[in-house]
């Protein structure tokens, strides 16, 4: 397998605290790769390190077989890799219209025919052109997240980094956004790296996943293995049990 | 089973510049010493229902009901002093996120003691002892140390347990828990729910558990109310969830991705305008 994105012994340190401790992952082209863990496990840090948003202390990140600089990312990188953040209430500029929000990446990358692309991007995420001149406070959470996805898709990246894209949304809206993400991945043959604390969501979206704890990867397995319960680590099993919901008998013990 | 709380035709509306927003539109239910779940999406009015019972509706909102009665006290006409006395001592509320709902500049212990001494005439020493005992009851190890910590020094799960301790210390009869575990990690969620479940059962409290997670609620409560657009669309026993009749309830149950089911794309809610009528 030739990986499109890989991390080798990646370490991210904040002073003495190791947020990531020698983590390695490989993501194949066209694959959807999940990162699962509790808060503080380093899953978001890993994703942000790939995007160049975390201070990398050692190790390297490869894109298409070429090592990336520890800090600096050039425009070509962001043309290829885009990110969707967790909180749609915080990741859209409150004083810019949807039109302005979607124009920004086009302007940054010097892409022409903005008009056509904005309309197509809105259409692709299931919002009509009537949403074009609204502000983000006039949109619901699910609609905002669709705009965030449109903003990432508009420059036609190959790789999408998804940091808990649905955890701020209602269950019913989550289903819509997950379906949208699956559909654009199929249509555009994208590679996803997706962070979530919800095993249900990750196994639904991803073929393979890595379970993280305390800045380390404790287990790598396929979604099929996870569903069938072929696990090696107790920690993964705990997450499995927790995701099945509250059971009174167990809690009384 | 004696009825503790009666809610009949509760309405909460917010006048705004662009018209009146009706958050709760005629909700009725009764509660005894049982666990009642209220489920709905954001904006369904579930939290406003809980807040109306607590008397925490914002001052500019309009609130009306045929009956809003807690143990013989008419909550709508009760003077503020009576409601203040109720709140914290007989009716308590657990909020969603310990990061925002605990006082950041007061130690955890002092916040718990404050609740206790507001409602009961106890000495400082006794209050401290009881607070520490309560912290132990919510399974905080080394309670004496945690007593003196500030909220930013503890994890989310511990903060939420401290909040449960704070709410239970005065021995309330009714507990309103508004998304008590949504801000927590899944594994911590179960621990906190286990503690809550045990304490509610031991003390024979009534519980209103507000959540957006239908499955969680059904595993935790005896009875579930499903709300949509400010109204109750369905009420059913938690064990009966599989036989839910309303398409909205069925939709909520089906749209969650679950381990071991392979459904692509996920079924989504097909919202019918008549649900909101």
What average pLDDT score do residues A192-206 get? 91
Minimum mean pLDDT among A67-71, A100-104, A151-155, B263-267: which range?
B263-267
Predicted pLDDT at B274:
82
d(CA B23, CA B266) in angstroms, rounded, equals 29
Dihedral over Cα of A64, A67, A71, A73: its sign: negative
CB contact under 8 A, B257 and A246: no
Please name the residues in contact with B253: beta carbons below 8 A apart, sequence gap of 6 or more: B214, B215, B241, B244
**pLDDT of A253 above 70:** no
Predicted pLDDT at B29:
95
Query: Which structure tokens are listed for B104?
Result: 């950041």
d(CA A48, CA A34) in angstroms, rounded, equals 14
The low-confidence residues of chain B, meaning pLDDT below 50, are none
- The distance of A243 to chain B (nearest Cα, Å) reads 7
**pLDDT of A1 above 70:** no
**pLDDT of A252 above 60:** no
d(CA A41, CA A45) in angstroms, rounded, equals 9
For tokens 């509790």, name the residue: A38
Query: Which structure tokens are listed for A222?
Result: 């396929």
CB contact under 8 A, B193 and A251: yes
What average pLDDT score do residues A66-89 get? 90
Phi-psi region of A22 (alpha: psi -120 to 50; beta: other; left: phi over 0): left
SS3 labels along chain B: CCCCEEEEEEEEEEEECCEEEEEEEEEEEEECCCEEEEECCCCCCHHHHHHHHHCCCCCCCEEECCEEEECCEECCCCCHHHHHHHECCCEEEECCCHHHHCCCCCCHHHHHHHHHHHHCCCCHHHHHHHHHHHHHHCCCCCHHHHHCCCHHHCCHHHHHHHHHHHHHCCCCCEEEEECCCCCCCHHHHHHHHHHHHHHHHHHCCEEEEEECCHHHHHHHCCEEEEEECCEEEEEEEHHHHHHCCCHHHHHHHHCCCCCCCCCCCCCCCCCCHHHHC
Of B216, B257, B264, nearest to A200 by CB-CB distance is B257
Predicted pLDDT at A212:
93
CATH 3.40.50.300 fits A5-252, yes or no: yes
CATH architecture of the domain formed by B5-90+171-276: 3-Layer(aba) Sandwich (3.40)
How would residue A250 be classed by pLDDT, with cut points 50, 70 and 90?
A: very low
DSSP structural state of residue A22: E
Predicted pLDDT at A251:
42
Predicted pLDDT at A7:
93
Predicted pLDDT at B208:
95
Element (H or E) spanning A57, and its range? Answer: strand A56-63
Overall pTM surpassing 0.80 (yes/no): yes
Domain borders along chain B are: 5-90+171-276, 99-170
Predicted pLDDT at B1:
59
Of A200, A226, A251, nearest to B194 by CB-CB distance is A251
pLDDT digits (tens, 9 = 90+) for A136-179: 988 888 899 999 999 999 999 999 999 999 888 888 888 989 99
Which chain A residues touch B if contact means CB-CB below 8 Å?
38-39, 141, 170-176, 178-179, 182-183, 197-201, 203-205, 226-227, 238-248, 250-252
Domain borders along chain A are: 5-252
pLDDT digits (tens, 9 = 90+) for A23-35: 999 999 999 999 9
Q: Which of B37, B45, B185, B216 is most worth mutating to test chain A (most A CB atoms within 10 A of its CB)?
A: B185
- Mean pLDDT score of chain A: 90
CB contact under 8 A, A243 and B264: no
pLDDT digits (tens, 9 = 90+) for A33-45: 999 988 888 999 9
How would residue A15 be classed by pLDDT, with cut points 50, 70 and 90?
A: confident
Q: How many residues does chain B have?
A: 277
Whether complex ipTM tops 0.90 = no
């Amino acid at each position: 397998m030739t990986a499109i994105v890989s991390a080798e012994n990646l370490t991210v340190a904040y002073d003495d605290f190791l947020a990531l401790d020698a983590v390695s992952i490989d993501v194949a082209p066209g694959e959807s790769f999940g990162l699962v863990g509790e808060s503080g496990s380093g899953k978001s840090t890993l994703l942000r390190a790939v995007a160049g948003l975390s201070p990398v202390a050692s190790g390297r990140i490869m894109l298409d077989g070429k090592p990336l600089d520890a800090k600096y990312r050039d425009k070509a990188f962001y043309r290829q890799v885009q990110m969707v953040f967790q909180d749609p209430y915080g990741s859209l500029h409150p004083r810019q219209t949807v039109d302005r929000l979607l124009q920004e990446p086009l302007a940054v990358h010097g892409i022409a025919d903005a008009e056509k692309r904005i309309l197509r991007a809105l259409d692709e995420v299931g919002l009509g052109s009537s949403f074009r001149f609204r502000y983000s406070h006039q949109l619901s959470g699910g609609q905002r997240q669709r705009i965030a996805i449109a903003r990432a898709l508009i420059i036609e990246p190959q790789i999408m980094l998804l940091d808990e894209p649905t955890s701020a949304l209602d269950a019913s809206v989550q289903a819509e956004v997950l379906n949208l993400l699956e559909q654009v991945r199929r249509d555009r043959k994208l590679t996803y790296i997706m962070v979530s604390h919800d095993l249900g969501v990750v196994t639904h979206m991803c073929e393979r996943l890595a379970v993280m704890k305390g800045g380390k990867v404790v287990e790598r397995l396929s979604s099929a293995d996870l569903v069938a319960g072929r696990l090696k680590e107790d920690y993964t099993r705990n997450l499995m049990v927790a995701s099945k919901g509250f059971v009174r008998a167990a809690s009384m013990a | 089973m004696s009825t503790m709380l009666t809610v009949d035709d509760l309405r909460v509306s917010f006048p705004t510049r662009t018209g009146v927003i009706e958050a709760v539109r005629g909700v009725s239910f009764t509660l005894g010493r049982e666990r009642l779940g209220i489920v709905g999406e954001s904006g369904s009015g579930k939290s406003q229902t809980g807040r109306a019972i607590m008397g925490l509706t914002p001052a500019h909102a309009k609130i009306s009901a045929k009956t809003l009665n807690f143990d013989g006290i008419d909550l709508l006409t009760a003077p503020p002093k009576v409601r203040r006395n109720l709140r914290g001592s007989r009716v308590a509320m657990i909020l969603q996120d310990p990061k925002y709902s605990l006082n950041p500049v007061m130690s955890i212990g002092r916040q718990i003691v404050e609740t206790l001494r507001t409602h009961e005439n106890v000495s400082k020493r006794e209050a401290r002892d009881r607070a520490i005992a309560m912290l132990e009851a919510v399974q905080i190890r080394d309670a004496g140390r945690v007593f003196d910590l500030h909220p930013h020094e503890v994890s989310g799960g511990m903060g939420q347990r401290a909040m449960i301790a704070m709410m239970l210390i005065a021995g309330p009869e009714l507990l309103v828990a508004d998304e008590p575990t949504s801000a927590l990690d899944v594994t911590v969620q179960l621990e906190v729910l286990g503690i809550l479940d045990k304490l509610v059962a031991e003390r024979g409290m009534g519980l209103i558990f507000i959540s957006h997670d239908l499955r969680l609620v059904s595993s935790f409560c005896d009875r579930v109310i499903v709300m949509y657009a400010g109204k109750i669309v369905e009420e059913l026993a938690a064990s009966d969830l599989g036989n839910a009749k309303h398409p909205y309830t069925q939709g909520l149950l089906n749209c969650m991705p679950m381990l071991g089911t392979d459904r692509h794309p996920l079924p989504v809610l097909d919202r019918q305008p008549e649900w909101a009528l």
